[in-house]
Amino acid sequence: MTMAAHDSSARWKTFFLEAKETEIFTLLSKQSNTPTLEVPFHELEAFDPDFAEDILQFPREILNTGKGTIRQICRERGEDLDVILRVGELPRDSRRTLREIGSADIEKLRSSDVQVIKISEIKPRMHIAVFQCEACGVSQEMVQNNERELLEPIRCPPTDQGGCDATAGRGGATRFNLVFNVSKLINNQWIEIQELPESVDSGAQPGRAKVLLEGDLVNKHLPGQRIVANMIPVVYSEILKNKKTPMFDIIYHLISSEHESVPFTEIKITDEEQEQILAVSKREDLLKLMQNSIAPSIYATGVMNFVKRSLALQLFGGVSRKNKDGTRTRGDIHILLMGDPGVAKSQLLTYVSELSPRGKFASGGGVSGAGLTAAAVRDTFADGRFALEAGVLPLSDRGLAAIDEFDKISKEDRSVMHPAMEQQRIDISKGGITASLPSRCAIIAAANPEKGRFSKRGANTSVIRSFSETGLPPPLASRFDIIWMMRDEVKAENDEMIAQHILRSRTRGVPEALIDEQVEMDPTKDDDDKVFDTGVDNSDLLTPSFLRKYIAFAKRNFHPNINKDVMAMILEYYVQERQSFGRQDQDEGEANVVPITARALEALIRLTEAHARMFLRNDAIAEDAKVALAVFKHWREESGIEDESEYSGHSVRQRNTSTIVNQIVRDICAENNNVATINSIYNRALVKKIDERTVDDIIQKLRTNGTLYSQKNDEYSFV
């Protein structure tokens, strides 16, 4: 051990009195239940670099000395406080991944980027035990540094110190009793941590570890949180058949932790970057710029332009609101991409999940219901009771979950998606645990058809028909705000441009082997300080790092409201769509499909808010509603949303037009002694936007099938 470790008490005293006088005064005023003194590492380094380095090498001894020193300073000032010392913000060279921590790091201070996956209940631990000698009644304190065993005194203090010098144990003259009410307890808790998924090499399993927390760190961490954990690895001998072995388990003692960029709200944005964001937001072509910046390596033709536009809106999202009655309306936009294999669905999902700071990517083939929501697992910390381990959706809370191969998720597991998407809450009742986990995340899912490719029924095939080809349950369709149908169509002019784009993109990439050998720079790191980049077709793009900051700034500072004019535009479209599909005709004995529902109305509001947020507006304007309606109409109308009847050969719109005319005739007949003139039918049909020719055709059909008859020319009655 170095000299610094030996004379650490004097160094601590100088540091506390010179640099931490204000904090000590706050401690003495007893403002906190657990008095804690936080010391950033850079302050120690500035005060005494050698001493700071020694703390990394001999943390336990030096931190214990520091605790004793601060306690002594407090005693001198009239307060007996058990102060916890927290050293944080460690230098980058002390950072390791969990898989790298081994024998060389034992009992050193190390930091690691991790995610909390499980927490235990609180357990009190005695850290200063007071024992009383049975023979003479003298008490002595024993500091308990080992949580695995209670350290007891062997001998009473000598007679000159007030004791009787008797020994305990077999043949001893005394024994020692633990005095509970004078001993000092501290709250402890176990947590389980795991490496961040993005830092794990392909094919490797993420490192996991058990960590012991104490004092004010208890109950500060939740499953799913990302933290930088500053901790001391400690070893314990493995026990096999009640015998110790030469193999050791590593557990960690947490010294301090810093919360990482949890949601969008904690991305650091400088004043200069804020000015750049405001400048970009004033561009006329902002929507096109955003659209082109989403997965620029994928060439956009036809529907892909609209898909990218909707993904840009999804990243900004609408505004989640809480109502007076306690209900909540979600702001996250859910999108489903259905398409033939090879139309770049997975590529889009990967890009969007990496762009979102709390994005998670899961593939349907490799995820179970427990993996999506939460698994009840045996609690290895305690007595084998069950504990919850968070899955993909809770871990993506306030972020985005990208689920590929959505159609491969088993039927039972898929049902958990319904409440997770609409109520954005997962209610768990497993293994005696009843809990509610938040899943306030946007979901982007990709599904393939059951038979390999979608059937070619031409442009009129409805989204609902194609949706049924994926094998997904129909109620799930209404949970998605937007459903895209991406076909692999053969079009000579598009095919050539896509091929050129792919060839140009591939040749611009940097070989991975050269990046691994550090011969070439990683091109993704190159853009961290840039705002604009250039695509392969020389178009302007925003770099991913700047786009992430732009989205974070918008989500943090702008929560658009919708005024009456914008509401009127959305309402007009909604009512018009509902009316055009007409009422259900009881006589036909057939339930007409009404594809636009109240959920669609909410989807339009969310899209309008997302567009307003993209332009950094606090109030949505007519332009925002126009774009929202354009995106919405595109996927509904271009895709032929009406569900054609497989048997009648008529689309729903045709069937509903017939129903509307039938109802008009019925209403006029009811008012006019079972007589309806052709002119009165024309006039009412015109209000419903049905032309005279269509009316004539429908009346002719009704006469042919015997529903109507005509006594005079241009006058009709029901049979």
What are the chain's domains?
1-89 (3.30.1640.10), 93-260 (2.40.50.140), 262-297+505-555 (no CATH), 644-719 (1.10.10.10)
CA 680 to mean position of chain CA atoms:
58
Dihedral angle, C-alpha 525, 529, 532, 538, nearest 10 °? -40
- Give rounded-to-5 percent helix, strand, coil for the chain: 40, 25, 35
Within 10 Å of residue 97's Cβ, how many Cβ atoms? 17
User: What is the pTM assigned to this prediction?
Assistant: 0.64
Question: Residue 229 carries which side chain, given as an amino acid letter?
Answer: A
CA distance 336 to 477: 9
- Collapsing DSSP to helix, strand or coil, 438 comes out as strand
Q: What is the pLDDT of residue 457?
A: 52
Q: What is the pLDDT of residue 369?
A: 60
Q: What is the pLDDT of residue 584?
A: 39
Could you give phi then psi for residue 677, rounded to 5 degrees?
Answer: -85, 155
Question: Residue 223 carries which side chain, given as an amino acid letter?
Answer: P
Q: What is the pLDDT of residue 235?
A: 85
Contact 358, 396 (CB under 8 A): yes
Could you give phi then psi for residue 12, rounded to 5 degrees?
Answer: -60, -45
CA nearest neighbour of 150 among 177, 182, 187? 177
Q: What is the pLDDT of residue 587?
A: 36
Q: What is the pLDDT of residue 102?
A: 84
Could you give phi then psi for residue 224, rounded to 5 degrees?
Answer: 105, -20
Contact 627, 312 (CB under 8 A): no
**Which residues of the chain, if any, have pLDDT below 70?**
1-6, 31-33, 171, 197-198, 202, 224, 260-268, 299-302, 357-358, 365-370, 378-388, 412-413, 431, 452, 454-465, 488-510, 512-539, 580-596, 637-656, 719
Q: What is the pLDDT of residue 300?
A: 65
Contact 353, 400 (CB under 8 A): yes
Largest CA distance in the chain: 130
